[in-house]
């Protein structure tokens, strides 16, 4: 374990590049492996979660190469075509990635061979039943640990079936797992979601040549229909900056007085912008210059300036568009005037950690008043810098770790996290980036540059 401490900072100023979108990076590798020909990916997130997916695609027979070119780093995937993946000779280790694990289960569900999928201790505690149930209807068989958890063995369907499946809860991971399985199944598979979730899979499947139709339903949900056995062809993919990663420097800039940051090329998919809508409702000074839709994903350049925030109520129906951003929203709420109430947070309990409990415990340790229920959180803001001074347990959760380092930058006293190792799963350059903008973040017990402190 490596504890880190964030001290109150002067203004953060400059350009804040953020890494490629994690959700899009996973999907680009998997669909590239399932396509005929070459897929070139620029901007791929080179973090532990995505590298686990790249390794898994190699184990399944695709050629996945990292190339240094004059224009920058490019990843090249030589695909095997729909239904053409090979039986892996060894276990597929998906590390800490819930997205990678659930999507690879979908990808393999219509391939008739045995595969064993595992993950680290955190991922092995996360439920897989939500994907096992619909993928079993397609014809896959699963043998999992108690509670339908990893590691598990599976055999994909020899004769996969098209299905119509209504999601019990809005989940882009479950929807995407079903769609990946349906690519290698006959007929039309339909996924009905109660609320719109991020649509990266639908966009990218179309980009590779699949026929995907989306119907908005009378109740506000959506029906997503995929026609099986498409001829997927390799395509160039440009991965925009991850809006979930951008959220950390954005909230740091909003809450550290005197800050102004520019964050270029951030993904601005309308189903991923719930945090930015909420922050603006709280009074945040955020300017988004949208750069249009290049045929894959909308992007924008953000300019963020520090200023006062006020509490709001965040409705439950907004949760699918910002489910990963509640830890850092809670940090913004700790600085706001009045109460911020967040509803519909049940999914936070089955993330890399029980994020709902981890947020509440971390804020309490830092002197912030919170009330928490089964699926809601209420934060009493300090109308300025919160007390800070706490030691926060991260539970090997990258978003908890980064959120509370950001809290320390704007608090009255430094905040310490017990372990920063998990940050590498999604944002390896987070600490160097924040230091370069003026943040006082240091490893506890060192001089901040890796050397031992004296005395």
The per-residue pLDDT for range 144-163, each reduced to its tens digit, is: 999 999 999 999 999 999 99
Residues 109, 194 share a domain: yes
Q: Are residues 207 and 271 in the same domain?
A: no
Residues 163, 202, single domain; the answer is: yes
| Within a domain: 455 | no
For the cut 80, the answer to whether the pLDDT of residue 30 exceeds it is yes
**Does 324 qualify as catalytic in the annotation?**
yes
Residue range 370-386, pLDDT digits in tens: 999 999 999 999 999 99
pLDDT of residue 296: 80
Three-state SS sequence of the chain: CCCEEEECCCCCEEECCCCECHHHHHHHHHHHHCCECEEEEECCCCCHHHHHHHHHHHHCCCEEEEEEECCEEEEEEECCCCCCCCCCCCCEECCCCHHHHHHHHHHHCCCCCEEEEECCHHHHCCCCHHHHHHHHHHCCEEEEECCCEEEEEEECCCCCCCCEEECCCCCHHHHHHHHHHHCCCCCEEEEEECCCCCCHHHHHHHHHCCCEEEEECCCCCEEEEEECCCCCECCEEECCECHHHHHHHHHHHHHCCCCEEEEEEEECCCCCCHHHHHHHHCCCEEEEEEEEECCCCEEEEEEEECCCCECCEECHHHHHHCHHHHHHHHHHHHHCECEEEEECCHHHHHCCCCHHHHHHHHHHHCCCEEEECCCEEEEECCCCCCCECCEECCCCCHHHHHHHHHHHHHCCECEEECCCHHHHHCCCCHHHHHHHCCCEEEECCECCCCCECCC
What percent of the chain shows pLDDT beyond 70? 97
Q: What is the CATH number of the domain that holds 111?
A: 3.65.10.10
Catalytic residue among 324, 375, 397, 449: 324
pLDDT exceeds 50 at position 455: no
Whether residues 221 and 250 share a domain: the answer is no
Give yes or no: residues 291 and 198 share one domain.
Answer: no
Q: What is the mean pLDDT of residues 187-198?
A: 96
pLDDT tens digit string along 360-369?
A: 999 999 999 9
Q: Range of 118's domain?
A: 22-227
Predicted pLDDT at 295: 53
Residue 113 has pLDDT above 70, yes or no: yes
Q: Are residues 80 and 161 in the same domain?
A: yes
What is the average per-residue pLDDT within 165-182?
Answer: 96
Q: What local confidence, expressed as pLDDT, does residue 293 receive?
A: 55
Residue 449 belongs to some domain of the structure: no
Percentage of the chain modeled with pLDDT above 90 = 92
Question: CA 24, CA 20: separation in Å to the nearest integer?
Answer: 8
Q: Which of 198, 227, 256 is the last residue of a domain?
A: 227
As given in the structure block, the two tokens for residue 143 are 């043998």
Name the domain count of the chain. 2
């Amino acid at each position: 374990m490596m504890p880190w401490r964030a001290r109150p900072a002067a203004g953060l100023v400059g350009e804040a590049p953020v890494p490629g979108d994690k959700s899009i990076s996973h999907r680009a590798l998997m669909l590239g492996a399932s396509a005929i020909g070459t897929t070139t990916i620029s901007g791929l997130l080179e973090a532990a979660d995505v590298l686990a997916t790249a390794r898994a695609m190699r184990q399944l027979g695709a050629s996945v190469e990292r190339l240094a070119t004059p224009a920058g780093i490019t990843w090249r995937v030589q695909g095997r075509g729909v239904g053409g993946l090979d039986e892996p000779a060894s276990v597929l280790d998906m590390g800490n990635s819930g997205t990678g694990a659930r999507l690879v289960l979908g990808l393999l569900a219509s391939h008739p061979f045995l595969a064993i999928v595992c993950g680290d201790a955190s991922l092995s505690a996360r439920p897989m039943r939500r994907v096992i149930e619909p993928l079993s209807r397609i014809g896959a068989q699963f043998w999992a640990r108690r509670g339908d958890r990893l590691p598990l063995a599976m055999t994909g369907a020899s004769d996969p079936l098209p299905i119509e499946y209504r999601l019990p809860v809005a989940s882009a991971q479950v929807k995407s797992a079903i769609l990946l399985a349906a690519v290698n199944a006959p007929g039309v598979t339909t996924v009905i979601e109660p609320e719109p979730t991020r649509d990266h899979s639908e966009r990218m499947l179309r980009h590779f040549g699949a026929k995907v139709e989306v119907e908005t339903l009378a109740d506000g949900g959506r029906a997503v229909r995929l026609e099986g056995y498409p001829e997927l062809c390799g395509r160039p993919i440009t991965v925009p900056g991850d809006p979930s990663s951008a959220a950390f420097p954005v909230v740091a800039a909003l809450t550290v007085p005197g800050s102004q940051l520019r964050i270029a090329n951030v993904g601005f998919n309308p189903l991923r912008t719930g945090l930015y809508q909420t922050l603006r409702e709280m009074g945040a000074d955020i300017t988004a210059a949208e750069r249009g839709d290049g045929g894959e994903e909308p992007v924008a350049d953000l300019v963020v300036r520090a200023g006062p925030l006020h509490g709001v109520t965040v409705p439950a129906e907004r949760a699918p568009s910002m489910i990963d951003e509640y830890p850092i929203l809670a940090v913004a709420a700790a600085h706001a005037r009045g109460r911020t109430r967040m509803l519909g947070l049940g999914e936070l309990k089955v993330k890399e950690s029980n994020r709902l409990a981890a947020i509440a415990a971390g804020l309490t340790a830092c002197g912030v008043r919170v009330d928490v229920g089964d699926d809601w959180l209420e934060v009493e803001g300090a109308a300025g810098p919160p007390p800070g001074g706490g030691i926060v347990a991260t539970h090997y959760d990258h978003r908890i770790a980064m959120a509370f380092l950001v809290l320390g930058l704007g608090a009255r006293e430094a905040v310490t996290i017990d372990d920063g190792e998990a940050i590498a799963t999604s944002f390896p350059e987070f600490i160097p980036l924040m230091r370069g903008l003026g943040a006082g973040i240091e490893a506890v017990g060192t001089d901040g540059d890796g050397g031992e402190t004296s005395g």
